[in-house]
Structure 1
Amino acid sequence: MSTTTTLPVTTTRTGAELALHRAELGHAGVPPVLGELDLRVTPGEVLTVVGPSGCGKSTLLRTLAGLLPPLAGEATQDGQPIRRPGADRALVFQHDALLPWRTVRANIELPLAIRRVPRTERRRAAADWLDRVELSGHAGRLPHQLSGGQRQRVQLARALAGRPRAVLMDEPFGALDAHTRSGMQDLLVDILRDTGATVVFVTHDVDEALYLGDRIALLAAGQVLDVPHPRRRDAASATTALRRRILASL
């Protein structure tokens, strides 16, 4: 007998706590990319991660996603070891990874379909998210009929439609032009205000890290820095010294 799950669209969930405890990260058989790493991401926090190429940013995300086990130490969610991918943790890539044969609506519904949410509930959730990412008129289109920014909006909606407690984002806006990127950053801030999800956001863009993050992890320097709030694009005077410190770590 099959079971179904109903996910109310408007219910806010508490973000997950993600942590690494004396963790060595990398691939088996080669030296670790990151070693002796201790990190705690608090529930509902946006932690942005910056560092030079090859320092382990993507490796960190894949470990927290459950795709890459630590070589030593431990990765945990809410104090429990992360041993495999889970529905509570969504991963968002720079390239949208949408299924080209599924419509925009069907792509957004995918995580709910996997969890056997009833069709009527999936449709309602997809319609809600299409409205939130301002793509209500594109539900029946295929990914190749959308712009890059629109595809990233669909990917963001798909990631959040299943109401994950943590969202792991690997340079999701890196391929977008400056204007579209700015709009996606604002959209992400607005959406996360309502979801309560914990976010780990990898970026090469220092200004993006400062705008989005509650804290910034400098992987190469082994530091985590607080970001002044409230979040504002014109807060240059409050972040000048912090920006210089971040740039010096790259």
Structure 2
Amino acid sequence: MSTSSDTEPGLRTVDQAPSSARGTRLILHAATLGRPDAPVLADVELDIARGEILTVVGPSGCGKSTLLRSLAGLLPPLAGEIDQDEHPLAGPSAERALIFQEDALLPWRTLRANVELPLAIRRVPRSERRVQAEEWLACVGLADHARQLPHRVSGGQRQRAQLARALAGRPRAVLMDEPFGALDAQTRAGMQDLLVEVLRGTGATVVFVTHDVDEALFLGDRVALLGAGRLLAVRDVPHPRDRTALGDPARVALRRDVLTSLGT
């Protein structure tokens, strides 16, 4: 994924995104996660509230991606339960969108056609899905790039298109696996701000995996710490999504505690 070429002025944001479903509650109770021959996390107790942004941090190999894939319904729990709104989670669903670090756009489809894909799967009429796709592209600052193929735009633009595609399907939960990890610092900060603005109008629940503690403490209402094959703690974040609070004593203390818990 591109880095320096991703830095560009004019990331446009919106006061309200196109309408989307309300968020969903996700609950893990005594859950062991992983594959039958390779369990990764044991006895996980976690209650993710409707509409909250939960960030997840931990060292490489600690189970962050496994947690996301389990919430997406791709990996059934080996023991315990995963519920969505107090009903057992049964396999993948359009209600839970999964976003990866690699953009996974279809290279032969334009950005607009990529964003239209989940709408086509839902059998939205062609004219309506084109309008909705263009609205979402405008939300993420790509209105002028709708007809471009993915290889003709930067890495940051591809990630914005992937976000638009995920949200166009009106998911109730968005599961994000290091989505900004390959971007340069300036583009990454712009994507964080854009994500906050776009999500404001959706009500979606977000679980956001990152290696970056500062990113976790900026985005998250709470931060979950993983390590040693288990969920170590879940901490409330003071002043989430407020860049002026970076030096707040409570935020600084939480950052120190998170780093200490992770052994970094």
Q: Give the alignment's TM-score, normalised by structure 1.
A: 0.94
Alignment map for 1:118-137 (pairs within 5 Å): 118-137=125-144
Contact 2:218 2:240 in 1 (8 A): no
Change in 2 beyond 3 A, CA 1:75/1:187: same
Aligned residue number for residue 177 of structure 2: 170
**Which of 211, 216, 238 is the aligned partner of 1:228?**
238
1:24 aligns with 2:36: no
Change in 2 beyond 3 A, CA 1:12/1:99: closer
Give aligned-pair identity as a percent: 69
Letter in 1 for 2:238: P
Contact 1:96 1:152 in 2 (8 A): yes
Aligned residue number for residue 247 of structure 1: 259
Letter in 1 for 2:19: T
Whole-angstrom distance in 1 between the partners of 2:210 and 2:166: 18
Change in 2 beyond 3 A, CA 1:89/1:230: closer
Whole-angstrom distance in 1 between the partners of 2:92 and 2:20: 22
Q: CA deviation at 1:142?
A: 0.4
**Which of 82, 92, 116 is the aligned partner of 1:75?**
82
Letter in 1 for 2:235: L
Whole-angstrom distance in 2 between the partners of 1:10 and 1:240: 35
Aligned residue number for residue 6 of structure 1: none
**Ranges in structure 1 where 5+ consecutive residues have no aligned partner:** 1-8
1:197 aligns with 2:204: yes
- SS of equivalent to 1:219: strand
Q: CA deviation at 1:11?
A: 2.9
- SS of equivalent to 1:134: coil
- SS of equivalent to 2:243: coil
Contact 2:104 2:162 in 1 (8 A): yes
Whole-angstrom distance in 1 between the partners of 2:179 and 2:86: 28
Whole-angstrom distance in 2 between the partners of 1:71 and 1:240: 37
Change in 2 beyond 3 A, CA 1:107/1:12: closer
Q: CA deviation at 1:13?
A: 2.2
Change in 2 beyond 3 A, CA 1:13/1:182: same
Q: CA deviation at 1:65?
A: 0.1
Count how many residue pairs are aligned between Structure 1 and Structure 2.
241
Whole-angstrom distance in 2 between the partners of 1:181 and 1:103: 23
**Ranges in structure 2 where 5+ consecutive residues have no aligned partner:** 1-16
Give RMSD over aligned pairs.
Answer: 1.1
Whole-angstrom distance in 2 between the partners of 1:64 and 1:230: 23
Q: Give the alignment's TM-score, normalised by structure 2.
A: 0.89
Q: CA deviation at 1:46?
A: 0.1
Greater displacement, 218-227 / 205-214: 218-227
Whole-angstrom distance in 2 between the partners of 1:10 and 1:107: 17
**Which of 16, 19, 28 is the aligned partner of 1:11?**
19
Whole-angstrom distance in 1 between the partners of 2:131 and 2:258: 43
Change in 2 beyond 3 A, CA 1:230/1:35: closer
Q: CA deviation at 1:12?
A: 4.1
Q: CA deviation at 1:232?
A: 1.3
Greater displacement, 132-141 / 224-233: 224-233
**Which of 113, 116, 135 is the aligned partner of 1:106?**
113
- SS of equivalent to 2:166: helix
Q: CA deviation at 1:229?
A: 2.0
Aligned residue number for residue 4 of structure 1: none
